[in-house]
Amino acid sequence: MEKLYRIEKDFLGEKKIEMNKYYGIQTLRAKENFDITKTDISLFPNFIKSLAKVKKACALTNFELGDLTDIQKDAIVQACNEIIDGKFHDQFIVDPIQGGAGTSTNMNANEVIANRALEILGHAKSSYDIIHPNNHINMSQSTNDVYPTAIKLTLYELIYRLKDSLRFLRDCFEEKSVEFKDVLKMGRTQLQDAVPMTLGQEFKTFAVMIDHDIFKLREAQAILKEVNLGATAIGTGINSKMEYRGKVISNLRDVTGVDYESAGDLIEATQDTGSFVHISGMLKSIAIKISKICNDLRLLSSGPRAGFNEINLPALQPGSSIMPGKVNPVIPEVVNQVAFEVIGSDMTIAMASEHGQLQLNVFEPLIAFKLFNSINMMRRAFHSLGEKCIKGITANEEVCMNNILNSVTLVTCLNPILGYEKSSALAKEALKTNKRVYDIILEQELFTKEELDELLRPENMVTNLSKDARWR
C-alpha cells in the first residue's frame, strides 16, 4: 500500500513525514543525522516516561499561569499520560547518542506530544497553529533543564530496580550462609592456606558486602532529588515567569509522587554534572565488588579434579566444543564482563563530565546512555547470578574438610594448646613427609582421635561462630 505523507517546515527547509507518524521534522532530521548506536531512545522506556512526566508538570504550570487554555492543557496532559502508560514509545526514534546536548530527544518528545494532543482534539497532525511543539509543549522550558531533569527522574526510578536485584542477590547468599553454617573449610590469604572458617561465613560475607551497597545506593538517590527545572537555557530562567520555578517543581512532585526540589543555584545546576559522576562511581564500586565475588566463586568451584572443588556451581550448558564433559562457570563469567563494561562506562562518564564547557555540558546524552545501560545490565546480571547460580550451589563438604586436615596451617589452631615450638615441629614434619598434620598428631599420640575430632568441630575452630548464628 502506498504511504501517505504530510509536509513539515522549519527554517532549514521542508521534509515529508509519514502521515501515521507522531514525530515531526526536527525528529526526522535527528534520525538522519545521528546513526550511532543503531538503536533509539525507546530502548529506555523509563526515560521516555520521565520526559512525559516533566512535560506534564510544565503544561500544568503554564495553565495555572494563564499561558495555556483549558483545552490545550487537557489535550497535552492526556497525551503525556498515554506516554507515561507506555503508549507511542515507538515514535521516539532518535539515537541516544547525539549532538546538541539532548535537543533532538527533547524535540522528539515535544513533537510526539503535540501531534497526539492535536489528534485528541480532532485536528490533523502538524496543525501547529493550534498546539505547537515549541510554543506550547516546550513553553517556559529549554532542553537544558528538561533533559537533565528527566535523566534524574529516570535514574531515581532505575536505582529502585537495581536495589531490588541486589536485595534478591543478598538474600540468595544469606540463604546459603545458613545452609553451609556447619561446613568447615580452609580460609586463604594471598591464595595460600590461612586458618579454618566455615563456608557459611564465606557466603555471609558476600551478603554483608552487598547490604552495604544497598544502603549506599539509598543515600545516592537523595542527590537526584535536586533538579534544575525552571532554569531554561543557562539557569537564568529566561522566557519563564517569576512564579514558574516554584509552581513547576510543585507540579513535578504531584506528577511523580517524589519530593523533588529546585536546585539552590540554577546556573550551577545547569552546567554541573557532578551528581551523575557520583552515581557512576557508586555503580563502579558495586560492579567491582560483585565481580570480586564472582572471581571467588570461580576459584572455589575450580576443577573439579585439579582445582579447589569446594563448591559446585549449577551446570547450565556444555563448556567446550572440543573437551567432552567440561562445564564452565558461565554466569559468574558474564557478570564479570558486565562489571568490566560498567567500569569502562565510569571512565567515559568522567571524561564527558570533565569536558563540559561554560554554562552547559553538551555530552549529557552520552552520560545518560552509559548510566541507563550500566544500571539495566547490572540489575539483569545480578538477578541471573542469584537465580541461575547462587541458589543452586552445593558444598563438597568432604573436600573442604580434607583441605583442613591436609593443611600445614592446622597447627595454627593447635598452637595455644601445643605451644609454638611443638607446632612448628609438626608443620616441618608434615612438609618433609607429605603427611597430614592430622595423622602425625595421632601417630605421636598428642591427642586421641576423639579429642582431635572435637577440636576440629566448627564451633571450636571458629571463635565467632555463635555470633554468626545470632546474625542469621
pLDDT at 406: 81
CA nearest neighbour of 34 among 91, 86, 105, 88 = 105
Domains and their CATH numbers in the chain: 5-139 (1.10.275.10), 146-180+198-395 (1.20.200.10), 398-471 (1.10.40.30)
Quick one: angle between helices 143-179 and 364-384, nearest 10?
20
The pLDDT value given to residue 468: 43
* 172-201 CB burial, b ≥16 within 10 A, e <16: bbbbbbeebbebbbbbbeeeebebbbbbbb
The C-alpha atoms of residue 351 and residue 7 are separated, in whole angstroms, by 41
Residue 267 cell numbers, joined: 546556573
142 catalytic? Reply is no
Decide: 63 and 127 in contact? Cβ < 8 Å.
Answer: no
- pTM value is 0.90
Three cell numbers, residue 190: 594471598
List 126, 177, 320, 466, catalytic entry: 320
| DSSP 8-state symbol, 318 | B
pLDDT at position 107, please? 96
* AA identity, residue 94: V
Residues in the chain: 472
Q: What is the pLDDT of residue 465?
A: 55
Residue by residue, what is the 3-state secondary structure of 96-136?
A: CCCCCCCHHHHHHHHHHHHHHHHHHCCCCCCCCCCCCHHHH
Q: What pLDDT is recorded for position 172?
A: 97
> How far apart are alpha carbons 370 and 215 in whole angstroms?
23
What is the per-residue pLDDT for 458?
64
Concatenating the DSSP letter of every residue in 169-195 gives: HHHHHHHHHHHTTT-EEEEEETTEEEE
Q: Is 366 exposed, middle or buried (0-12, 13-18, 19+ CB in 10 A)?
A: buried
Cα–Cα distance between 119 and 367 in angstroms, integer?
34
Nearest-5° Cα angle at 419, 415 to 424: 75
Q: For every one of its 472 residues, what pLDDT tens digit does the chain have, with 9 covering 90 and above?
A: 678 999 999 899 999 999 999 999 999 999 999 999 999 999 999 999 999 999 999 999 999 999 999 999 999 999 999 999 999 999 999 999 999 899 999 999 999 999 999 999 999 999 999 999 999 999 999 999 999 999 999 999 999 999 999 999 999 999 999 999 999 999 898 988 888 899 999 999 999 999 999 999 988 899 999 999 999 999 998 999 999 999 999 999 999 999 999 999 999 988 899 999 999 999 999 999 999 999 999 999 998 888 899 999 998 778 776 877 778 888 999 999 999 999 999 999 999 999 988 888 899 999 999 999 999 999 999 999 999 999 999 999 999 988 888 888 777 777 888 888 888 888 888 888 988 888 898 999 888 998 888 877 767 777 655 444 433 3
